[in-house]
Amino acid sequence: MAKGVRDFAPEDKIIRDDMVNKLVSIFQRYGYSPLETPSIERLDTLTAKFAAGSESDAAKEIFKLTDQGQRELGLRFDLTVPFSRFIALNPNLKMPFKRYEIGRVFRDGPIKLGRYREFWQCDVDIAGCSSMKADAEIVLLALDAFKELGLDAFMEINNRKVLYGIMDYCDITPSMRESVIIIVDKIAKQGFDAVRKELQEKSISKKSIDKIEEVFLVRESNEETLQRMRYLITSEIGIEGMNELDELLSYLKFVEAGRIKLNISLARGLAYYTGTVFEGFLKESKVNSSICGGGRYDNMIGMYAENARQYPAVGIAFGLEPITDALKLSGQEEKKTVTQLYIIPIKTFKESLIIATKLREAGLKIDIDLMDKGVSKNLDYANSMKIPYVGFIGETELKEQKIKLKNMHSGKEELMVLDEVFERVNSQ
């Protein structure tokens, strides 16, 4: 098997499907509709200035392809770029356009716990709304999603314009600004010694590196950070970012303490972000990588539009792989099958098949012995698969028009009519 990919056995897929269903329920609760886009895009679409960007980590990690016509293609590295292309190619869409999309994405990057080369994302985006109200909604949606999943999460927030203001304070030239921001974004993951070395390799002056260290290594509350940034930042774009950050945080004041953290080094690894950026993390989990991330990208969609129309947009991507790992580590019960009731016919297969059909039509998930394995082996099978109920159907049960229902957890057996079987099994 190729490195960085994996199969999903039933016990894994059941967890993932349950997780996705819960996420979709939250997305729809906020009024988002589904969208589907292709995995293969033109390479110039993926590497455009406001997509991956030539300096970004994502551009370096694109899986590149060439078709039989020698056209350069690539596998999408996220769902945001295809979404932007879709909006640009459909100018008659009503705004704001709110969508979610779930699909495979691909990155040729390093492999570790929670990080793979083929992985799934759940994306939620709003196009056509420039207000920080949209940014606040995305943050609240993410927190609600993790609450629905039973995960203890928090969101880190920043603004790219604030970072530009900090770069001005640190005497970083506009031509080097994007490169330095991408390096600074690695402080939390790699430590400042590694960041200092990378900055030195980019020929950043000692004075500027010292200023960067002074700005980014201070640990303080959200309000203390805001006050310090208001003092340091004097450029027009930096002040604009501070105002946006203030407005966003004002909408989130009611959120439980500790769920929103200001991280002024947070930039995200993609060049297309223009304002708000955010990432989600779990508290007290072995999965220490981000479990979701996103931000505002007001310039990207218009780049694909023929009329150069601008579409402000903000969105977030949920990483299903790290979330799945977190759910497993949290001790969530593992299911090997979706089956609720396993029927064991005792020389009554044809009649049992009719009964199984009726129970399926009623909405139960029913499996039935197809191999005449006998009672003992069938019970062993049901027990190994952690199926909660087994139903015996022999001649006696047929005469009484009942099923002998066995609770595999307690071992208790009861004779029941079909309606009673449905109620008992469906209540679990």
| Structural domains of the chain, ranges and CATH numbers in brackets | 10-329 (3.30.930.10), 341-426 (3.40.50.800)
B/e letters for 282-293, b = 16+ CB within 10 Å, e = fewer, are beebebebbbbb
pLDDT of residue 30: 98
- Predicted TM-score (pTM) of this structure: 0.84
| Section 64-85 average pLDDT | 93
Q: Are 336 and 354 in contact (CB under 8 A)?
A: no
Lowest mean pLDDT: which of 20-29, 258-267, 364-373, 376-385?
A: 258-267
Q: What is the residue-averaged pLDDT of the chain?
A: 91
Rounded distance, CA 70 to CA 137, Å? 43
pLDDT of residue 329: 86
The answer on pLDDT for 53 being more than 60 is no
The answer on pLDDT for 153 being more than 70 is yes
Map 201-264 to HEC letters.
HCCCCHHHHHHHHHHHCCCCCHHHHHHHHHHHCCCHHHHHHHHHHHHHHHHCCCCCCCCEEECC
pLDDT of residue 268: 86
Q: How many residues does the chain have?
A: 428
The answer on pLDDT for 285 being more than 90 is no
Place of tokens 């005792």: 346
| Section 278-293 average pLDDT | 89
